[in-house]
Structure 1
Amino acid sequence: MHVASSSRPLSRTRAVLFATVLCLAGSTALADLRLGVSVGQFDNYIAYLVRAMQERARQVPGGVTLQVEDSGSDVVRQLGQVESFIAQQVDAIIVNPADTAATGGITERATRAGIPLVYLNSRPEVREFPAGVVFVGTDERRLGQMQMEYLAEKMGGKGDLAILLGRLAHDDTRKRTAGVKDVLARYPQIRVVEEQSGDWQRDKGLDLTNNWLSSGREFDAVVANNDEMGIGAAMALRQAGRREVSVGGIDGTPDGLAAIARGQLAVTLLRDPVAMGEEAVDVALRLVRKDVVQGDVWIPVHLITPDNHTQFQRY
């Protein structure tokens, strides 16, 4: 895990990560390696993850080639992509799961083939991993808690709340929403008046919020499971002249940071896609080198508000 300092957290983290890559190229040569990468669905956030992995691969002395495939949220297709990587005898596999409850076949095939496997961004729904399998990501429940703690204080501990859920089948949706409700249990005067899925998408967040407003629904804040839905909600609220409604997101994407700067979002949580993507490649290379890496590699998260957002403008 890389811990960021408070003054220039992201630039220092990047320096530590780059030093890690140089160390990897040290005692054991890593040359002409191939990593197979399968992502659940190529959206805005995943694009930054992939870009970070590609940039990290270019930095590694000796050369690392990434083969990136998009499963389009299809678990069968993703399993087929992993099987193709195994047939090609790639050196390691990185998977952003299409469905966190359907990774058993991926794990079984990779471990049987003796190929290191790194799960990225969304943790499979298993208690522990076998040797050679590692998860790189963030604590999703804690993200929801931090998001709602900030909004609850901003609401003065009372009022009506709308929740924009991510994809319902996605474990991150469940964990982030559970974190939100952990906090709401301490605030009985905050009432949830709407709770619907926007499927992680900006346009659906906008449409749902427009529908709520058109039906006469009143609320004081919107908590969204990601920035994209939060930005959509904020757009609808601005169009309706409801700038006083606070909107919270999660991810800290460049669009999310820009929305903080514009006053559209009141808060977001940075799940740093650059640090996460870089770390996934680093961990894969360590596994290829037979270093001992086990369990979960947690990437630190950062609460971003109008007061501190300029510290995190790295893109």
Structure 2
Amino acid sequence: MKKLMLAFAMASALYAPSAMAQEKLKIGATVYGLNAEFMQIWTAALQKHPAVQKGEVEVTIFDGRYDALVQQEQFNTMITQKYNAIIFVPMDIEAGAAAVQAAHDAGIPVVGSNARVNSDLLTSYVGSNDVEAGELEAKSVLDKMGCKGNVVIIEGPIGQSGQIQRLEGNEKALAACPDVKVLEQQTANWSRAEAQTLMENWLTSHPGQIQGVIGQNDEMALGAIEAIKAANLKVSDFAIAGIDGVTDAINAVKRGEMASILQDANAQAQGALDVAIKAVKPDYKPESPIWQQYPSMKWDDGKDKTYLVPWTPVTLENADKLLESRK
């Protein structure tokens, strides 16, 4: 009898931590790529979420390596391993839909963040309005040019929602300046190095003819600035803008070299995790402070299909505060 009771006690002891482990939610996040600072800030913010810090949620980050097929395989892994929820920052607006479908069929909620996927099966989307950003950045370039002259557009990866929607915004601003001509328009895949090469080629092809540079993210705008400097030209002779508010871009704004708009990676990531947890635990209350930071973005019990984080133009007045927040 004593042996039986001892065996039962041991079994109970073994079961107890197992049951506790099951209470911790297992949430995966597949992001299009981790080479650049913006997505590094986004993933760091996810790990700093209060629910993760308190041990309520275990988050696993998957690097999509800028490949939609890699992200599909990462979804398959998360489905097989029975993750409770998935956060998706897709590489391709169309290709990502099949991955969302597979998770939906397996009963796993998927929350989109930062980049769009063409699927009605997302539980929700937490990001920012890229059309608005594209229009704002292009307008800053065109205003500096006085709505006259020639511009080049450095695009994100063709087929990603940021590229599609920011271009729509770029074109809206350009439509208001019919005297401005787009000399060149090509992707640099969000890459500073690729943008530098493009800009070097364009400066050679169009000597003295480029007045404005519309970079669909900061990394590419910074690459264009490097090309201008390498050609021994004055950066101040160009109107240049990007999007994201990465550290180097904020410093470039302080030097008067470019304009930028902060895309709040912290709010997008933590907001997406709050919504993902809510999809699994109906009684969950949001733990991230971002809902107080942006009162215009109503929590609404985590049931909205879209949550849009406002843009913040980077200015000389707020640049130091933004840089301090990165430390």
1:168 maps to which residue?
A: 158
Q: Which runs of 5+ in 1 are unaligned?
A: 1-29
1:67-106 mapped onto 2 (5 Å cutoff): 67-106=60-99
Q: Secondary structure at the match of 1:135?
A: strand
CA-CA distance at 1:60 after TM superposition = 4.9
From 98, 103, 111, give the equivalent of 1:118: 111
From 262, 269, 272, give the equivalent of 1:277: 269
Q: Secondary structure at the match of 1:157?
A: coil
Q: Secondary structure at the match of 1:109?
A: helix
1:253 aligns with 2:243: no
1:232 aligns with 2:232: no
In structure 1, what residue type is equivalent to 2:248? D
Q: Secondary structure at the match of 1:89?
A: coil
Q: Which moved more, 1:200-209 or 1:234-243?
A: 234-243
Give, in whole Å, the separation in 2 of the partners of 1:308 and 1:64: 33
1:53 maps to which residue?
A: 46
CA-CA distance at 1:264 after TM superposition = 2.7
Q: Which moved more, 1:289-298 or 1:196-205?
A: 289-298
**8 A Cα contact 1:73 1:99, kept in partner:** no
Give, in whole Å, the separation in 2 of the partners of 1:57 and 1:198: 36
Cα distance per residue 1:144-181 (max 9 Å; x no partner): 11111222211112111111111122221121111111
Distance 1:36 1:183, change over 3 A: same
Cα distance per residue 1:200-233 (max 9 Å; x no partner): 1101111111112223432111010000010010
Give, in whole Å, the separation in 2 of the partners of 1:220 and 1:307: 26
1:188 maps to which residue?
A: 178
CA-CA distance at 1:238 after TM superposition = 2.1
**8 A Cα contact 1:136 1:279, kept in partner:** yes
In structure 1, what residue type is equivalent to 2:238? V
Distance 1:116 1:57, change over 3 A: farther
Larger Rg: 2
Q: Which runs of 5+ in 2 are unaligned?
A: 1-21, 283-300
Give, in whole Å, the separation in 1 of the partners of 2:220 and 2:243: 9
CA-CA distance at 1:73 after TM superposition = 2.4
2:9 maps to which residue?
A: none
2:310 maps to which residue?
A: 300
CA-CA distance at 1:86 after TM superposition = 1.6
Distance 1:125 1:304, change over 3 A: same
Q: Which moved more, 1:45-54 or 1:80-89?
A: 80-89
Structure with the higher fraction of residues in helix conformation? 2
Percent pairwise identity: 28
In structure 2, what residue type is equivalent to 1:36? G
Cα distance per residue 1:259-295 (max 9 Å; x no partner): 2123332x11111111111111111111111265231
Runs of 4 or more above 4 Å deviation: 57-60
Q: Secondary structure at the match of 1:177?
A: helix
From 210, 216, 225, give the equivalent of 1:219: 210
Q: Secondary structure at the match of 2:261?
A: strand
In structure 2, what residue type is equivalent to 1:63? E
Q: Secondary structure at the match of 2:73?
A: helix
Question: How many residue pairs end up in the alignment?
Answer: 282
**8 A Cα contact 1:31 1:61, kept in partner:** no
1:148 maps to which residue?
A: 138
Give, in whole Å, the separation in 1 of the partners of 2:260 and 2:31: 23
